[in-house]
Structure 1
Amino acid sequence: MIDDSTRRFTNRVADYVKFRPAYPREVATFAQVELGVAPGAAVADIGAGTGLSTKLFLDAGHPVTAVEPNAAMREAADAFLAAYAQDGRYRSVAGTAEATTLAESSVDLVSAAQAFHWFRKDETRREFARILKPRGKIVLFWNSRLLEGSAFLEGYEALLQRFCADYAQVAETYPDAAAMAHWFGEGFEHQTVFPNAQLLDFDGLSGRLMSSSYAPQPGDARHAPMLAALRELFDTTQQDGRVNFAYETRVYAGRPVRAGT
């Protein structure tokens, strides 16, 4: 993973658990139908964070190993998914995308969600190929916040640009469709998009903002003015006490291209 990315969210775990969006269940259905991944096939969820993406595949009937280097996030996932651990379908390990600790040819599907943009891409490609079984597949997906389409969405983007110094740098690390096709190479098979959204009151909106690694924290001179601007944005754009925080869940999938193939 990119330097310091494994520690970037350590002091934001509580907000991440409470306020980050889940992923559409259609992602797991897509893996089963379009990629031919059998129900019950073993999944490795890489950069699993607090377990939101892991739960998606657990609920679809898969045993899942969550690979997460950040101890605080891994502990949050273990608490969140404790019921699945009791029946043996869930376990977590301390590992990275580039060095998962998993055995060679041990899983049927590798998944990675929001964390993918932090991975070192060449090393990750080799590691995914190593841990996948010969007919194994890869599915990569993340929630991409819509930047326009409503006064709230456009105002929120302007707020980030104004108050969050490294927001643009982080946003630019998300690959586009052309970059994903290049990453998969000859193994690229599918891409699709699913709609997703959160309806948030002000507490939910402020928590969602503070779950972002680039948001200034208390003690930073920008923190209080940022929250004041967020309050003003909420008050002027809310409907029935909520704002629609809209996303597209972008999905890219295929097979690994192994050395010598």
Structure 2
Amino acid sequence: MPTFANSTQRFSDRVGDYVKFRPTYPREVVAFLHDTCGVELGARVADIGAGTGISAKLFLDAGHPVVAVEPNDAMRASADAWLASFDRFSSVAGTAEATTLDGASVDLVIAAQAFHWFDPVTARREFARILKPRGLVALMWNSRLLEGSPFLSGYETLLRHYSTDYQAVAERYGDDASMAAWFGDGFAHKGAFPNAQLLDFDGLKGRLMSSSYAPKAGHPNHEPMLAALRELFDRTACDGMVEFTYQTRVYVGHATA
């Protein structure tokens, strides 16, 4: 597996685009955790690699107290500002491998679109430490569909042609086999839920630029990439919109030290 130097800072200059253009997660994820996985209403949640607070808000809206663990100062500040009205929200500067949280202090650990940046062995040990007995881990990704429409297949081609390290990042995302191996005997449930964004061109451009592998202004691939994005949008948009389609995958189980 490739290594990524200072991965906690990859999004420091993309916070604005991340807040505006990244998708949320379906409410069915929380219902799945309650109804199928046995997570209690009001269970305390630790959101690891919480970023700008998108996944934290999903659980706050469902009535859970949430502590966001986020090492990137800019992203954590964005979450603090956005979620300030929630009395049950707090945040700490920490990592998956060293959360700073007390032992046996949370009922559910979640990581949404973040686990692929963690050291898997050290993170599992830390999750086991901070979880109460019988506590659960839920790892989730909004996985963009790579085909199914001219836009989806064209967008995948664009990323492979212009992005800096897209393929290396994509290869890190959890799949059924790697998640079963990580949880081991603790693997309990998996779920998949449809998710989508309807985006105009500005939204599509912002969504692209929220990705850590999209070359920024000044990179030789930046302007050609945006020109190709414009051509793709003009060719595939319907009523001024494209559908950015995902499958939200969730893997749930117990962490063992």
TM-score by length of 1: 0.96
1:172 alignment partner AA? E
State the 1:36 CA deviation.
Answer: 1.1
State the 1:78 CA deviation.
Answer: 0.6
State the 1:221 CA deviation.
Answer: 1.4
State the 1:257 CA deviation.
Answer: 2.4
SS in 2 for 1:95: coil
Distance 2:37 2:221 in 1: 46
Stretches of 4+ moved more than 4 A in 1?
none
Distance 1:165 1:76 in 2: 26
- 2:76 aligns to what? 74
SS in 2 for 1:82: coil
1:45/1:54 contact within 8 Å kept = yes
SS in 2 for 1:6: helix
Structure 2 residue 41 is the aligned partner of structure 1 residue 39: yes
1:84-136 Cα offsets, whole Å, 9 max, x none, are: 1xx2x000000000000000000011111101110000000000000000121
- 1:58 aligns to what? 60
Aligned residues, how many? 255
- 1:96 aligns to what? 95
State the 1:176 CA deviation.
Answer: 1.1
Counting aligned pairs with the same residue, the percent is: 68
1:201 alignment partner AA? D
- 1:15 aligns to what? 17
SS in 2 for 1:83: coil
1:2/1:119 contact within 8 Å kept = no
- 2:186 aligns to what? 187
State the 1:175 CA deviation.
Answer: 1.9
1:192/1:251 contact within 8 Å kept = yes
SS in 2 for 1:212: coil
1:10-55 Cα offsets, whole Å, 9 max, x none, are: 0000000000000001111111112211111111000000000000
1:205-237 Cα offsets, whole Å, 9 max, x none, are: 000000000111111111111101000000000
- 2:156 aligns to what? 157
Distance 2:230 2:122 in 1: 43
Distance 2:256 2:100 in 1: 20
1:167 alignment partner AA? Y
Distance 2:39 2:225 in 1: 45
Distance 1:67 1:257 in 2: 20
1:15 alignment partner AA? D
Structure 1 portions without partners, runs of 5+: none
- 1:207 aligns to what? 206
- 1:130 aligns to what? 129
- 1:143-154 alignment to 2 at 5 Å? 143-154=142-153
Distance 1:101 1:202 in 2: 41
State the 1:196 CA deviation.
Answer: 0.3
